[in-house]
Amino acid sequence: MSLKNVIRNVLNIRTERALAPPGPKPTIGSSIVLNHLRIRLKYPITDVQWDWFTDQGWRTADMRKERRKYASVPDKILIKLITRDGAERDKLHQQLLSAKVNSEGQLVKRSSSKVNAHEGAKITSTQ
């Protein structure tokens, strides 16, 4: 770390990056990012879908120059975001943003809201 960065950290004078302006609709194979998440577009999206993504804060990123660490969003979730409408899409998006990321940079599935009677007990399979 350079002396300049140490001074910025000590004096807490870091500046937040402004959200980049939305660009044109990305092509298949491009990556879009938001916070710590990255979606690699393997399927075509419409202009309306791209407008929705940009309204949520997603932006295209040139991953060749990008040094930040992102968690990859699975293709299944991308397909659900593309195919769902309105409130369902918004709900799924909120769940995606609140998902935790493990040390390998993968999204961790949320546990069900049901309480297990043997909570904390180690369950082993005997086959």
CA distance to 9, 66, 93, 102, per residue, from 72 (Å):
29, 14, 14, 11
Per-residue model confidence as pLDDT tens for the chain (127 residues) = 688 888 888 887 777 767 777 888 999 999 999 988 999 999 999 999 999 999 999 999 877 776 778 888 999 999 999 999 889 999 999 999 888 777 666 677 655 443 333 333 332 233 3
**Nearest to residue 78, comparing CAs of 105, 43, 103, 48?**
43
Domain count across the chain: 1
Q: Phi and psi (nearest 5°) for 80? A: -65, -40
Within a domain: 122: no
Within a domain: 71: yes
Quote the domain boundaries for residue 63: 20-107
Within a domain: 50: yes
Asked whether the beta carbons of 37 and 70 are under 8 A apart, the reply is yes
